Every structure is written in C-alpha cells, then in structure tokens.
Structure 1
Amino acid sequence: MATLRKPSSKPSEIPQEAKSEDRKSSTVEDPPLAPPKLGIILPAAAAFFLPFFYLVFFHYQIDPDLRRSIAINAAMSFAAFIVAVRMIPVAARYVLRRNLFGYDINKKGTPQGAIKVPESLGIVIGFVYLVIAILFQHFNFTSDSNWLVEYNAALASICFMILLGFVDDVLDVPWRVKLLLPSFATLPLLMAYAGHTTIIIPKPLIQYVGAAVLDLGWIYKLYMGMLAVFCTNSINIHAGLNGLEIGQTVVISAAVLFHNVMQISASTDPEYQQAHAFSLYLVFPLLTTSLALLSYNWYPSSVFVGDTYTYFAGMTLAVVGILGHFSETLLLFFLPQVLNFLYSCPQLFKIIPCPRHRLPRFDPQTGLLTGTKDGTLVNLFLRLFGRCTEKTLCIKLLIFQALSCLLCFWLRHLLAGWYK
C-alpha cells in the first residue's frame, strides 16, 4: 500500500442539503470496485490447505475431539472468507463517501495513479474476524473452561488494537504515538494471563545459568508486551507495495498453522496440545479473512488496508505466539520484519532524516521502481537486484518471507534435542 490521503471536509462547513446531494452523486459517480482476483487467490490457497488438511485428518494421529474442533474452526473460517469478500465492496462505497481514500504513489503519473482507492478496509476484516472468533466459543469452550478467560482476553486485545488502528487511519497520529498504541491494546491480555512465566534455558547455557528452568515473573509479562509492540509495528513499516502487508501476514499465518499442527501431533501432553490448538483457533480465521482482503489488495490494488489491518494482523500473531508459548519460533517467522526494523532504526529514531513515505521512485514511462537510500527492505531489494515492477518486487519479498519460514522449520529440526 502506498497512499497519499485526502483529508475530509469538516461537517460544519457543509450544509445538510449539500451533504444529501453529495451522497446521491457519490452513489452515481463512484466507479464500481474491481472484482476480487479469486483466480489468483484460490489456487494459491488450495496449494496450502490441501496438504494442511491431509496432515490433520490423515497423516497425524490427533485426538478425535481436537480434530473435530479444528474442522469446525476451519468451516467457520471459510465462511468468514465468503462474508468478507461480499462485505468489502459494500464497505468501500461507504468509506469513499466519507472521503477516506488515497492515491497510489507507486502509480503516480499514470491513469491508475489518479484513481481514488478506498482506504482502511482492514476494519471489515477485523469485524468479520471478531464475529467468527466469538461464535466459535459456542462450539469449543464450556463455561468452566480454563482457556475461556484467556481466549476472551485475547479477543479484547485484538478488538482494542482494531479500534486504535482505525483511529490512526482517521487521525493520522505521529510515529511516537504509534509505538505506544500496542502497549495499551495488550493490557487485557497481560492482566488476564494466568499461564507460566518460566522459560526453558537452552542446554548449552544451563551450566552458566545454574538451572534448566528460570522463572522471570513480571519480566516475562513485560517481554510479552514488547513482543506485541514489535509485531504490530513491524508489519506496519514493512509496507509500501500492493499486497505486501497482507501477503506477509498470509505467509506467516500459514507457517503458524503448520507449526501448531506439527506440535500437536508431536506431543502427548494435553496442556501443550491445547496451547497450540488455542493458537490454531485464532490464526485460522486470520488467514482466511486476510486472503479475502488480498483478493482486492493484490496488484493492481482496488482497496487499501490501512493501519487498521496491519495493527490487527500484528496483534493477532503476537497473541497466538504468546498464548501458544512459541514466541521464539514466531520471531524466526518474522525474520524479514526483524531485518527491516533493524535496517530502519536510524531513520525511525531520527538519527538520519526520515521522510513521510519511504517508498521507491516510480518511473511512469517504464513502469519500473528504483530503490532510494531510505532504510527499508523494499528499497534494499531494488538496490541489490535491480529495477523491476511493483508486482515483481512484491512477489520477491513474499518468496523471501516464505524462505524465512522454511528456514525456521529447518532450524527447529536441526537443533531439536540439542538446543532445548
């Protein structure tokens, strides 16, 4: 996503009659939203879901009740995909009427660069996600379930983050405030967290620490809050291309799903299995609703996701990593985001000048992007591999994201039994 926003007019400046006429003319003049690119999304989704369901229902020995819950969650998540695909065009018309739109900077100087693109459509995905996640409680949790409190606390944090993200989209808050927003959103989760606060010391370090397990107490909760801050902001700053924000979320969510199923099958500890099942229940609807939004946001994008989506996606992934107790693995899945953040630090902390949009330069004559000196992975890829189109660059970055996730699985396999 690369936008140049147009501020909305103050309500007091427009007579009520003019507002009514404006709404009528918007209905007539607003161009119809381009249809979703399901021809691209559905085959890519099938390439993931077919092996995933094979592992769940045929390859791995999983408890029948747990398998039933996964099937219900999957069915509800696919329903969320259909609902989201239908709701996005409706919501796009409403946000356009309220002047919540942007212009695609990476297409400036071309006819596409002059089109009003609806902004902040992540609010639709967040709404559908929350409804599905809340309804799922009816099928999986009883009133006395030990996981119910943490499940609702997780949803409260995600809901809080969606609200703060939408506020950011509307008010355009400064960066120093953006860094603090996830800290407030994690409060429901941190206050309700009743899990362990211990960490397993890597075997090579036990002789130096003097214990195999270390209880961190409140420091562990501080770490959880910092992880949420990193996940939300790291997705938000690794952006600037059609499909990149959602694409990276889809790849990470797919990796988390595979990781959860593999860990469920590898353990006989019911508590450990439930922790990973808990993570799976939250990340499955994130993946399907994100695919729905990606069908509209893929190049050339007909909607923009806004900070609402990036904050929502980052918080959801942080929550599943925290409550699933695999935060180290999650950070490995976030390797491109970690590299992008470290590379961006000099500009983020004002050591060197930081422009509002750290985007590549677009040449309207050739349609190619050229990397600038700004510290982002997007610009670094262009400088390393040469100029290319926006779509090609996004695909390269998503391949790098997928390779990073595969590297994580390989490292876990390589270090199993030696590291922990």
Structure 2
Amino acid sequence: MEFESLILTFIVALIITPLIKKLAIKIGAVDQPSGRKVHQKVMPRLGGLAIYLSFMIGMIFFYPDSVYTIPILIGGTIIVITGMLDDLYELSPKWKLLGQILAAVVVLGSVQVEFINLPFGGQLYFGMFSIPITIIWIVAITNAINLIDGLDGLAAGVSSIALLTISSMSIIMGNDLVMVMGFMLLGSTVAFLFYNFYPAKIFMGDTGALFLGYMIGVFSLLGFKNVTVFSFIIPIVILGVPISDTIFAMIRRKLQGKPISAPDKSHLHHRLLQIGFSHPLTVLLIYVLSGIFSLAAVLFTKATMWGSLLLTLVLFLIIELVVELTGLISKNYRPLLNFVKKGFDIRRY
C-alpha cells in the first residue's frame, strides 16, 4: 500500500501544482523581493496548497475510516488556513501562533505523549504535563520547518528527507499507519519539489511550510511516542538541522538584543550564501547535513545506551563545528576552532 499511496499523491501534486500557481498569481498570493529575501522577482507562494490537497486526497482514499483521519483533516486544514492567511495578508506572530496551537489541540486525543520508558527499568509518566508537552512539540517542529524555508527547494527537500526517514523507521518498527501516511506526504512533497527546486517556479509559502512542519510533528509523535528516553530523541535527531537552526536563531537574536520572533538574514542558508556558496550548492549541502542526521537517527535504534551517548556527542560536535565555521551565532564565536588552532600553535614549538 505504501507505494500505491506514494504514487497517487505524487501524481495528484504534480498535476495540481501548476493550477495552484495560476491561482496564487490571480488572487495576489505572491512573494515580493525585499532586503532579507534571496529571490529577485515576484514569486507565487501558495504552492503548499498542492501538498495539502494531494495528501488529504490520499488520506481519504486509503484511510477513510481511521480514527486519525478526521483529527488530521481538521488540524491540517486549520494550519493551512493559517498559512494561507499569512501568505495573503502577513499575519502577526501572535495570530500565527494561535493557529498553530489550535491545530495542535485538535490532534491531542490521538498523539499525546503520556510516558516514556526509562533505560534502567520503569516508566516516567508526564501526567498533567502530557498536553503542554505535546502542544509545544508540534508547534516547535511546525516553526522549525517554517524558519528553514528560505531558499528554493530547501524546506521541501529537508522535509522529504525527514519523511523518508520516519517512514523507513516505521517499517522497521511495524507501524504501518505512520509508514503509509509518511509515504503519502513524501509523494506530495517530492512532486512539488519538481517545481520548487532552483530556479523555483513557485514557493510553498507559509501554507506549505507550516503544513509540512505540523504533519512531521504529528507523525513523529505517532511513530515514536511512549518509547525509551534515547528513542525519544530520534525525531529530534531526524530534524536536527531545522531544530538547530531555530535554536541558534533564538540565541543570536537574544545576544543582539532583538525579539526572538524578529526576522533576520543569518540563518544557516543565509550564512552559507554569504560565505560564497551558490544557491543550489547551499541547498545541497543542507540536504547532506539532513541526511547525516537522518542516518544517525537510524543508528540510534540499533545502538546500546553507551553507543547512543557517543553518537549524541558526535552530533553535538558536528553542530558546533557548523555553527563556528558559518558564524551562525556570530563571526567571533569560535571556541572550538580557537582551541584546535591553539593546540597546533603549541605543537609547533
């Protein structure tokens, strides 16, 4: 069923994306060039609607009677309406957040994380904190994907890698529902990527970025809820690139005395462009980073506790090197590189 579902959503998205492009231009849902934008011409930005529609068609076709279908339909629709309104009218951050919270609340009955199994036996129940933890997780992943949507094909490609990993791991874990839903959304996203990779013909806009982030957040909870402490970080590892970029953006803005929600032009993709990488090469480099994190997530499922700790340490080291090499926090933040350089200088004497 997974391949049939992927093919169906792929074909539907491939057909309707050009139609969505015409609609976006007609109703004025376009992205204007500006100082913090990379593109130089007016672009239609309602492309996420094609991803949403093709995925929902797949859900209704393959899972008409599932207990998850209605909550996902309603929650997905709320998040898409939020994104569409932002693409059309540029909503304030508080209204976007409200839409994200409402969408998260809708699926609470289906995807709540109630407890995790501890590595040395026993379980840790979240109790009354289960609801806020679930909402915060979904909203955080939604925004992480939204923030990385800054270059042609970037958010769609990173999301595709994450979806492929989640679906593949669901096969290993025997979770057929998440596997098929993941493949359906993967088919929709890859088809859209044909029109969105550099040079893009259409942007997904907040309509698509919020929807992809929302669904990935829901899938990750459905696939990995009520698991061990170390397995609980698997979805975090899969989404390591957008999550790290979001965290360092918050740190950077705090150090600069700016509001956390203030936009800037210092995200990972911006920094790689400023260093001198071309637009498509920057996107491909971030794909590679996402692939490394996804591979690490798969290794987590096979590793012992000490292996998991070692893998975590290696990932933190990779993140630190990327942060320092790109100047993601600031150009002067280079503690690890300075330490290594100092070590080489001492060895010369």
TM over 0.5: yes
Please say if residues 78 and 99 of structure 2, whose CA atoms lie closer than 8 Å, have aligned partners that are also in contact: no
Match in the other structure for 1:160: 78
Please say if residues 112 and 130 of structure 2, whose CA atoms lie closer than 8 Å, have aligned partners that are also in contact: no
Q: 2:221 aligns with which of 322, 325, 332?
A: 322
After superposition, the CA RMSD in angstroms is: 2.8
Match in the other structure for 2:264: 358
> Where do 1:109-148 residues align within 5 Å?
113-114=40-41, 116-138=42-64, 141=65, 148=66
Please say if residues 180 and 229 of structure 1, whose CA atoms lie closer than 8 Å, have aligned partners that are also in contact: no
Post-superposition offset of 1:96 = 0.8
Q: Does 1:150 align with 2:68?
A: yes
Post-superposition offset of 1:351 = 5.2
Match in the other structure for 1:308: 207
Post-superposition offset of 1:348 = 5.5
Q: 1:248 aligns with which of 150, 158, 163?
A: 158
Q: Which amino acid is 1:182 matched to?
A: Q
Match in the other structure for 1:288: 187
Distance (whole Å) between structure 2 residues aligned to residue 215 and residue 314 of structure 1: 26
Give 1 or 2: higher helix fraction: 2
Distance (whole Å) between structure 2 residues aligned to residue 410 and residue 418 of structure 1: 9
Q: Secondary structure at the match of 1:199?
A: strand
Q: Could you state the TM-score of these two structures normalised by the residue count of structure 1? A: 0.66
- Render the CA deviation track for 1:42-98: whole Å, top value 9, x for unaligned: xxxxxxxxxxxxxxxxxxxxxxxxxxxxx2x42133122112111111221122122
Q: Does 1:94 align with 2:20?
A: no
Q: 1:344 aligns with which of 233, 246, 249?
A: 249
Flag the 1:302–1:107 CA change in 2: closer, same or farther, 3 A. Answer: farther
Distance (whole Å) between structure 1 residues aligned to residue 49 and residue 43 of structure 2: 15
Q: 1:402 aligns with which of 291, 301, 304?
A: 291
Flag the 1:134–1:105 CA change in 2: closer, same or farther, 3 A. Answer: same
Please say if residues 300 and 308 of structure 2, whose CA atoms lie closer than 8 Å, have aligned partners that are also in contact: no
Q: Does 1:379 align with 2:290?
A: no
Distance (whole Å) between structure 2 residues aligned to residue 403 and residue 245 of structure 1: 16
Flag the 1:394–1:214 CA change in 2: closer, same or farther, 3 A. Answer: same
- Render the CA deviation track for 1:92-112: whole Å, top value 9, x for unaligned: 112212222224569999xx8
Flag the 1:350–1:278 CA change in 2: closer, same or farther, 3 A. Answer: farther
Give the unaligned 5+ runs of structure 2.
Answer: 226-231, 310-349
Match in the other structure for 1:21: none
Distance (whole Å) between structure 1 residues aligned to residue 49 and residue 129 of structure 2: 33
- Render the CA deviation track for 1:365-409: whole Å, top value 9, x for unaligned: xxxxxxxxx3x22234456xx312111111001110111111122
